[in-house]
Structure 1
């Protein structure tokens, strides 16, 4: 029986592209486990590896196949293994900076239409974390939706929504509870036809539980947040693409305890500040002490929270480092804190003299 790839997000553009390369088979990456993959084509699921030529040509880690990618494959004569020959251009890509010191980015999911940014309404609630996720989501090319989980554990949901009001300008916010079912139906309206959605958020916020609700069965393992500190336990350890019975597909991702922004669209994530900045007297205004600064004027009038501006500056600085090599980042930090390496050495020598006394 042939698989209908329309149910896995196939578009007319991809169909036309595949028709021009009859020697290859179109497939979508549904799972990734280090250097091995699982793909689905019209013939069904197959384990897959990267073909030797493609592996040789790939020089950047973010160019390697990721869950959600559409790829061209060839299949071994015994139909037991697929070789990925080409990764097709991505319509969107959700990426974060690597936690390691390599500086290489990490693809979370590819070709996503809607990103559900999940955060629980308990001690995990953090406005600045939502800002960071939105920065990353807007940069991906997908549409973000903020999902506030465990609403049944929150005594004042409207207050939480008010706290997020400035951060979520132009973004849908859904408060829901997997335990009571409240709000879950609203999520289903975003997953229709051949659309792809992805859930991201910290460990234990309830992503897997919500996905199970969408699937209609307990496919994914779930665990509660620890009661003593509200920190989550990792339940999802790899990325996986799943088809929903009502249409559309969902990509589950491991919880992120450390979120470093690889790229980001501050124009959309901080639309209030960028709009104000366009009204500043000087085009290169740093929004600190310059005369005619519309941002500082808004703060003085109580229209903009100082903490919001601090978050903007912090992310702006982080993004300026994201495209640098490890050495360039180190030099930039030295320049920022000391002015030069020579001045840093003088400072360190001075500290050492004080310690010797």
Structure 2
């Protein structure tokens, strides 16, 4: 198991200072309130690094005026051309100078103890990343719901024990900056997003992958950010339970099967990439073994879901069960949700769509 091998060890307790890495793009509407919430933290950040992605509104002016009165040092960089949200976040992170990094959107509101609670969770759990839940707020800042995003309670999870495609939103992350030194973070190395393979994996998907593979993650069941929902969001939020997810997949069975297949390619990319950079570094032993298992499990699911015969699918399901494909992720499998999907849609989908 992953926990028996060396992983990224926690930083010394005396090095708990945080840099905020913020990416902006035409964010003038809500930016000042977000900056106010950051500099008003019970444990303030040591610096705020803001990279602006060629905005055409008043973002730069707001940052300049705020920086002049800010009790926290602010570094502002303007991109000559638009890099896109993920590469802009990576640029901001690369310019930070402190041991821990907290990603920040331009339009949220942080609870006053977000940094304090995140650092405490990292310290107490010996973790390399802390993530938390959020309150959904509207454009006026009023609560409209909650966002849990894979967090079912406060706990610390060992490396290589989360569902392999787990991604925590960037605004919820505080992490050890050494994660970014483990591997290059160019688009070719990051590979494809598991939900949209035509896109490169985003900044928060990449850091989730690194933290989940190389260290412990502290989950905080505390809404430490007001995550703003409005018409200009790059990404909004949909909160579906398992039944809702199954219904969505039923509505487009061919797309579901294509996703099962492309996850094989993404798992292989991660395995190959990790293996290529491992050299003699013992920290890579467990992640390589973990992603080799994930690739094998994903290939087994692809074979089941693309089989043209009902009996063939039943046989594949039996073999997958015997080989541990659907064990809990903490035991090296893909989890019961994938079993339920394959036992329902995987076995019956071919009947609905006319396969022989």
Q: TM-score range by the shorter chain?
A: under 0.3
What TM-score, normalized by structure 1, do the two folds share? 0.27
Structure with the bigger percentage of strand: 1
Structure number with larger C-alpha Rg = 1
Structure with the bigger percentage of helix: 2
Bigger RCO (CA 8 Å, 6+ sep): 2
What TM-score, normalized by structure 2, do the two folds share? 0.27
